[in-house]
C-alpha cells in the first residue's frame, strides 16, 4: 500500500489523532484510558509559572485495574476489522487454497519459532512543540511536522475551520522517524488555547511526555513457520503476528515480498482495548519487526539444513510479488549478496557456531536481507526564475534531516543547467504549491525523493517553456521576434533574427555582443518582470511493476566469553536503491537506519508496568539508546542502478531501508558467535547467560 494512502485508508483524514491511534481527541471526555494521558492544560506567562501551576492540579477519579500486560493480552487477541485498502490477514496459495499446517507438515525440513519485539519510542532529540497564534479567525502555527499540508488539514478538522485558514510553518522538523508524521495533542491544544485566550501560546512536551502523549512502535509477537525441501527450496511460509495495533503488521510487510514459495499464510491479530498510549508509525513500520523475525527464522533454517545463509536466500529469490504475482522492476538483490559477501569477507565466517575466538571474545558473523517497498506520491512543485539570476524551487514537503532541501536544489539545478548555489529551495510550509486535497505528501514512507524530484522536473520543463515564450514576446526583450528561442544552461538564445540583434556570442549566461544570447536574470530585468515560473505535478506511477529497494547486511559481533556482553565490531551493507542522487546524504541515511535497527537489537525497549500501565523507563537514563562507543564505521556500498520506471530521476527510497534487517543480522551474528539463539529483543547479557 502506498504510504501517502495510509491516512485515507485509516480514516484519519479529515479526522486527526494519529495513524491507527485511539481517535478520541484530547480532553474530549472524562475517561482516562492510559497512564500519562493529558487531563488538563495550564497556560501561564512563563514556563516556571506553568510548571508550578500544573503541579498543583489535583485529579479525582475512580480507578480500575489496567489492561496493560501485552504478554497476557496476546492470549486473547482477535482478528482486526477489515479496513478498505489495507490487506490484512492475507492467504496466499498456489495453485489452490491449502492448509498451511498441512503444507508445513509435508515439508522435508521445518523450523517454527516465536519472535518477540517490545515497544519502542521515537526518542528524537527535538521534542514535539508548537507555537500557535490567531489573527482574524485564521491560525498560524509553527510546529515540527513531517507533513505540513496534512498537519493543516488535521488541525482544521479539530478546530472546525476551513483548511485554508490554517497556515503551518515548519522549516525545521528535527528528528521525526514517523513520530511527527501525524497530528498529536500538543499542537491541537496549543491552537485551542491560543484561540481561547486571544494570545499566542507555546507548548513543548517534556521528555517523559514523549512516551505518553505521542505515539510509539507497537509491541509484537510473531510466529514463523518455514518448511523446505532438503535442497533448500521453500515449500511453505507461515507468518502469524499478534500486535498491539494494526500499524505493526510484520507478516504482510515481510513474508509476502522476500522469498518465493508455493504456500504462504499471513495473519494478523491485535490486542484491543489495552490501556496504553496509542501506537503509530515508526521508521519502517512492520518492516523492521517483520524482517527481524523472518530473517532470524531463515538463519535457523540454514543452520538446520547445513547450508550457507546466502545460498539459501539465492535459492529462494523472489522475482514477482507473492500477492498478485506482479514482477519486481530493477531488482539487483543477488548482486547485493555477491558484492557484500566479497567486501565483508563472508567466506571467513565459521560454519560451526562458537568456534571462532579472539582472546576472550567469541567472534560471529551474520547476515540478513532488507526489502522496502518503493513508492511515489502525488505532489506539486514550483520552479521560478528571478531577475537576480537565481531560481527558487518550492514544495510543501518537509525535511526531517534527510537532506530534502539539498536534493530539491540539486534536482532543479540539473534541470535548469545552472549551478546549485543559484537555486534556493523552499519547503516546510503548508501554503507552498499543492494540487488538490490528495496532495498531502511529506517526509514519510521513504518516498520523498522519488515523489518530489518528479514534480520538480515537471515544473522545470514548464518554467523553461514559460521563460522561452516570455523571451520571444515580451516588450524590452532583445529576443523579441526571434524565429526560434531556446534555453540552454540559464540562457535564452535566439536562432533567428532579433530586434536590434548583431554579432554576439554566448558565455554562461552573459550577453557578449548585441543581444542574441542573454541570461534569464538579465532578461527579466530588461523586461521589468518580477518572476517567471510554473508548477509541475507528479502522480503515482503505474508501469505494471512492483518497486522496492533492497540491501544485504553483513554483521560481525564479539561476545565476551565470561561476561557475555555482545559488541558490534564490523558492519557492511550493500544497497540497491536505484540512482543515488547525493552520495553523502544517501550514505548518511543508510548509516542512520542501520544504527536505528541495531538499537533494537542492542538495547531499546519500553518497559510497561503491568499493574499500573506506567512506562517505567520514560527518560533518557532508563530508556537505553546506542552511543558512540556502541557504534562502528558502517561500510556502505551503493549499486547505483537507476529505476526509471518509478520516476524520471531513477531514485528509490532509502530513509527506512537501513533499519530493515539490521537487528536480524546482529542476532544471527550473535548465534554464530555463541550458539545461543535469542528470539526476544533486545539481546542483553542475561539472555546470553542462560
Asked whether residue 508 carries a pLDDT value surpassing 70, the answer given is: no
Summarize the confidence of residues 549-568 as an average pLDDT.
98
Q: What percent of the chain has pLDDT over 70?
A: 90
Summarize the confidence of residues 331-343 as an average pLDDT.
98
Measured from the Cβ of residue 383, the count of other Cβ atoms closer than 10 Å reads 33
- Residue with more model confidence, 11 or 450: 450
The predicted structure's pLDDT at residue 96: 46
First to last CA, the chain: 41
Asked whether residue 10 carries a pLDDT value surpassing 60, the answer given is: no
Catalytic residues: 656
The predicted structure's pLDDT at residue 540: 82
| Strand residues in 470-565 grouped as ranges (E) | 485-488, 491-494, 504-507, 510-513, 517-519, 532-538, 548-560
The predicted structure's pLDDT at residue 512: 37
The predicted structure's pLDDT at residue 132: 98
Summarize the confidence of residues 217-242 as an average pLDDT.
97
| Strand residues in 6-161 grouped as ranges (E) | 91-93, 109-117, 129-135, 138-143
The predicted structure's pLDDT at residue 504: 42
Q: How confident is the model at residue 20 (pLDDT cuts 50, 70, 90)?
A: very low
Q: Mean of the per-residue pLDDT values for the chain? A: 90
Cell of 317: 529469490
The predicted structure's pLDDT at residue 85: 52
Largest CA-CA distance found in the chain, in angstroms, rounded: 90
Asked whether residue 302 carries a pLDDT value surpassing 70, the answer given is: yes
Read off the pLDDT of residues 623-643 as tens digits, 9 standing for 90 and up: 999 999 999 999 999 999 999
The predicted structure's pLDDT at residue 97: 64
The predicted structure's pLDDT at residue 24: 60
Cell of 433: 504549491
Asked whether residue 502 carries a pLDDT value surpassing 70, the answer given is: no
Cell of 23: 481517535
Summarize the confidence of residues 485-494 as an average pLDDT.
94
Check: CB of residue 620 under 8 Å from CB of residue 118: no
Measured from the Cβ of residue 565, the count of other Cβ atoms closer than 10 Å reads 12
Cell of 601: 537489537
Asked whether residue 135 carries a pLDDT value surpassing 50, the answer given is: yes
Q: How confident is the model at residue 136 (pLDDT cuts 50, 70, 90)?
A: very high
Q: Cα 92 from chain centroid?
A: 27
Asked whether residue 175 carries a pLDDT value surpassing 80, the answer given is: yes
- Residue with more model confidence, 265 or 435: 265
Distance CA 650, CA 181 (A): 25
Read off the pLDDT of residues 117-126 as tens digits, 9 standing for 90 and up: 999 999 999 9
Q: What percent of the chain has pLDDT over 90?
A: 81
| Grid cell 518497486 in the structure block, residue | 547
Distance CA 346, CA 342 (A): 7
Asked whether residue 88 carries a pLDDT value surpassing 60, the answer given is: no
Asked whether residue 592 carries a pLDDT value surpassing 50, the answer given is: yes
Summarize the confidence of residues 146-164 as an average pLDDT.
94
Asked whether residue 13 carries a pLDDT value surpassing 50, the answer given is: no
The predicted structure's pLDDT at residue 435: 65
pTM given for the model:
0.92
Cell of 569: 565490531
The predicted structure's pLDDT at residue 541: 82
Asked whether residue 207 carries a pLDDT value surpassing 80, the answer given is: yes
Distance CA 520, CA 391 (A): 10
Asked whether residue 359 carries a pLDDT value surpassing 80, the answer given is: yes
Instruction: Return the H-helix or E-strand segment holding 408.
Output: helix 404-416
Asked whether residue 19 carries a pLDDT value surpassing 70, the answer given is: no
Read off the pLDDT of residues 645-685 as tens digits, 9 standing for 90 and up: 999 999 999 999 999 999 999 999 999 999 999 999 999 99
The predicted structure's pLDDT at residue 680: 98
Read off the pLDDT of residues 186-200 as tens digits, 9 standing for 90 and up: 999 999 999 999 999
Q: How confident is the model at residue 437 (pLDDT cuts 50, 70, 90)?
A: low
Distance CA 481, CA 176 (A): 53
Check: CB of residue 623 under 8 Å from CB of residue 617: yes
- Taking 3-state DSSP, the helix, strand and coil percentages for the chain, each rounded to the nearest 5, stand at 30, 25, 45
- Residue with more model confidence, 458 or 14: 458
Instruction: Return the H-helix or E-strand segment holding 194.
Output: helix 185-197
Amino acid at each position: 500500500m502506498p504510504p501517502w494512502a495510509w491516512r485515507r485508508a485509516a480514516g484519519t483524514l479529515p479526522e486527526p489523532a494519529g495513524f491507527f491511534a485511539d481517535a478520541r481527541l484530547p480532553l474530549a471526555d472524562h475517561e482516562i484510558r492510559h497512564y500519562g494521558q493529558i487531563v488538563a492544560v495550564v497556560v501561564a506567562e512563563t514556563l516556571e509559572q506553568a510548571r508550578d501551576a500544573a503541579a498543583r492540579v489535583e485529579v479525582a477519579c475512580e480507578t480500575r485495574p489496567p489492561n496493560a500486560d501485552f504478554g497476557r493480552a496476546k492470549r486473547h487477541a482477535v482478528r482486526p476489522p477489515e479496513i478498505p485498502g489495507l490487506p490484512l490477514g492475507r492467504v496466499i496459495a498456489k495453485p489452490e487454497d491449502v492448509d498451511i499446517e498441512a503444507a508445513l507438515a509435508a515439508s522435508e525440513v521445518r523450523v517454527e519459532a516465536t519472535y518477540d519485539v517490545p515497544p519502542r519510542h521515537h526518542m528524537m532529540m527535538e521534542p514535539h512543540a508548537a507555537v500557535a497564534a490567531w489573527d482574524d479567525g485564521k491560525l498560524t502555527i509553527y510546529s515540527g511536522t513531517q507533513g505540513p499540508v496534512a498537519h493543516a488539514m488535521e488541525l482544521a478538522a479539530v478546530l472546525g475551520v476551513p483548511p485554508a485558514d490554517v497556515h503551518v510553518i515548519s522549516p525545521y522538523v528535527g528528528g521525526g522517524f514517523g513520530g511527527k508524521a501525524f497530528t498529536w495533542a500538543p499542537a491541537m491544544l496549543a491552537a485551542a488555547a491560543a484561540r481561547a485566550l486571544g494570545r499566542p501560546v507555546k507548548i513543548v512536551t517534556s521528555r517523559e511526555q514523549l512516551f505518553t502523549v505521542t505515539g510509539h512502535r507497537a509491541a509484537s509477537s510473531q510466529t514463523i513457520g518455514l518448511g523446505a525441501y532438503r535442497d533448500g527450496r521453500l515449500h511453505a511460509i507461515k507468518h502469524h503476528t499478534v500486535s498491539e495495533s494494526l500499524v505493526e503488521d510484520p507478516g504482510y510487510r515481510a513474508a509476502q515480498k522476500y522469498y518465493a514459495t508455493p504456500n504462504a499464510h499471513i495473519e494478523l491479530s491485535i490486542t484491543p482495548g489495552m490501556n496504553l498510549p496509542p501506537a503509530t508509525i515508526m521508521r519502517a513500520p512492520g518492516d523492521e519487526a517483520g524482517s527481524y523475525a523472518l530473517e532470524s527464522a531463515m538463519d535457523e533454517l540454514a543452520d538446520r539444513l547445513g547450508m550457507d545463509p546466502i545460498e539459501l536466500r539465492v535459492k529462494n529469490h523472489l522475482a514477482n510479488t507473492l500477492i498478485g504475482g506482479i514482477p519486481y522492476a530493477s531488482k539487483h538483490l543477488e548482486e547485493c549478496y555477491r558484492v557484500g559477501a566479497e567486501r565483508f569477507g563472508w567466506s571467513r565466517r565459521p560454519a560451526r557456531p562458537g568456534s571462532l575466538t579472539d582472546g576472550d571474545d567469541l567472534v560471529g558473523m551474520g547476515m540478513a536481507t532488507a526489502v522496502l517497498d518503493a513508492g511515489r506520491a502525488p505532489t506539486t512543485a514550483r520552479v521560478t526564475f528571478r531577475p537576480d539570476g537565481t531560481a527558487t524551487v518550492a514544495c510543501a514537503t518537509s525535511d526531517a534531516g534527510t537532506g530534502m532541501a539539498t536534493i530539491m536544489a540539486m534536482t532543479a539545478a540539473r534541470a535548469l543547467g545552472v549551478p546549485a548555489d543559484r537555486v534556493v529551495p523552499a519547503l516546510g510550509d503548508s501554503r507552498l504549491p499543492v494540487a488538490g486535497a490528495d496532495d498531502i505528501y511529506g517526509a514519510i514512507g521513504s518516498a520523498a525523493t522519488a515523489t518530489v524530484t518528479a514534480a520538480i522536473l515537471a515544473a522545470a520543463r514548464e518554467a523553461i517553456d514559460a521563460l522561452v515564450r516570455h523571451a520571444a514576446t515580451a516588450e524590452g526583450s532583445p529576443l523579441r521576434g526571434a524565429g526560434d528561442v531556446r534555453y540552454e544552461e540559464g540562457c535564452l538564445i535566439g536562432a533567428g533574427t532579433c530586434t536590434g540583434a548583431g554579432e554576439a556570442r554566448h558565455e554562461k549566461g552573459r550577453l557578449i555582443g548585441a543581444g542574441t544570447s542573454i541570461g534569464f536574470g538579465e532578461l527579466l530585468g530588461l523586461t521589468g518582470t518580477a518572476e517567471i515560473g510554473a508548477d509541475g505535478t507528479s502522480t503515482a506511477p503505474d508501469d505494471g511493476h512492483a518497486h522496492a529497494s533492497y540491501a544485504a547486511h553483513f554483521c560481525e559481533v564479539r561476545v565476551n566469553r565470561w561476561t557475555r556482553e555482545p559488541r558490534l565490531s564490523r558492519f557492511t551493507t550493500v544497497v540497491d536503491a536505484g540512482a543515488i542522487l547525493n552520495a553523502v546524504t544517501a550514505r548518511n541515511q543508510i548509516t542512520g537506519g542501520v544504527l536505528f535497527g541495531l538499537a533494537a537489537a542492542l538495547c531499546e525497549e519500553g518497559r510497561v508496568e503491568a499493574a499500573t500501565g506506567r512506562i517505567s523507563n520514560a527518560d533518557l537514563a532508563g530508556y537505553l539508546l546506542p552511543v558512540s562507543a556502541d557504534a562502528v564505521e558502517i561500510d556502505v556500498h551503493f549499486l547505483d542502478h537507476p529505476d526509471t520506471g518509478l520516476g524520471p530521476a531513477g531514485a528509490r527510497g532509502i530513509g527506512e531501508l537501513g533499519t530493515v534487517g539490521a537487528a536480524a543480522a546482529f542476532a544471527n551474528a550473535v548465534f554464530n558467535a555463541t550458539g545461543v539463539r535469542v528470539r526476544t529483543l533486545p539481546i542483553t547479557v542475561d539472555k546470553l547467560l542462560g
